[in-house]
Structure 1
Amino acid sequence: MKLNVKAFALACGLIWGLGVLLMTWYMIAIEGPSDDKFFLGRFYLGYNLTALGSVIAMVWGFFDALIGGAIFAWLYNFLSRKKS
């Protein structure tokens, strides 16, 4: 079986980007907005618990997972071709 690299990368990017956005909004609803740096703020520049920070993290997360998903799908296709 072969993975479609573009479709897999796009799916990964959308899922991770929306997941980061929803997680941030959930944390804002519980704790309220804050300028404190959380764990993701170490990786995604500009991220904090605010509405703008959630959008920034969504964009960073989308491209982060897009690239990671493309590498994973390409590597999967490459190794499955070698096996058969």
Structure 2
Amino acid sequence: MAKKKRLTKAIKTLTTPKQTKINPKSAGLSLGILFAVSMIFFSLWVIIFGTGQVIINLAAIFYIGYNTTITGMLLGAIYGFIDGFIAGYLLAWIYNKLG
């Protein structure tokens, strides 16, 4: 009888879904890096292909100093990292609280 209880408990443990937690710091770093690389990519795209200046102009409204120069790309990467980190951290934190 005890063996059956242990087996039942083991099966229940294996089949019961558990809520996975997301590390907010890791999520923030991941999104921060992704956003920073994206900002550099957008700038390089405009420099190389000459199209998409509208995206840079739109981003420059929110990110002071962001443009297609080296300094502007670095500023954009910093802004992108900060925004991405905050977004990733908050999303993971909210996900963990709701779960």
- Sort the TM-score into its range (normalised by shorter chain): 0.7 to 0.9
- Between the aligned partners of 2:91 and 2:61, the Cα distance in structure 1 is 24
Is 1:75–2:83 an aligned residue pair? no
Counterpart selection for 2:75 from 42, 56, 59: 56
Query: For residues 1-84 of structure 1, what are the structure 2 equivalents within 5 Å?
Result: 1-31=20-50, 38-80=57-99
- Distance in 1, Cα, partners of 2:48 & 2:72: 14
TM-score, normalised relative to structure 2? 0.72
> Structure 2: which amino acid aligns with 1:57?
G
CA distance in 1 between counterparts of 2:70 and 2:57 reads: 15
1:9-66 deviation per Cα after TM superposition (whole angstroms, max 9, x unaligned): 100000110111111111111229x8xx601001111111222111110000000110
Q: What's the Cα RMSD here? A: 1.7
Residue aligned with 2:30, SS: helix
TM-score (norm 1): 0.84
* Runs of 4+ residues deviating >2 angstroms: none
Query: In structure 2, the residue corresponding to 1:38 is in which secondary structure?
Result: helix
AA paired with 1:11? S
Gaps of 5+ in 1: none
Identical positions, percent: 30
Aligned length: 77
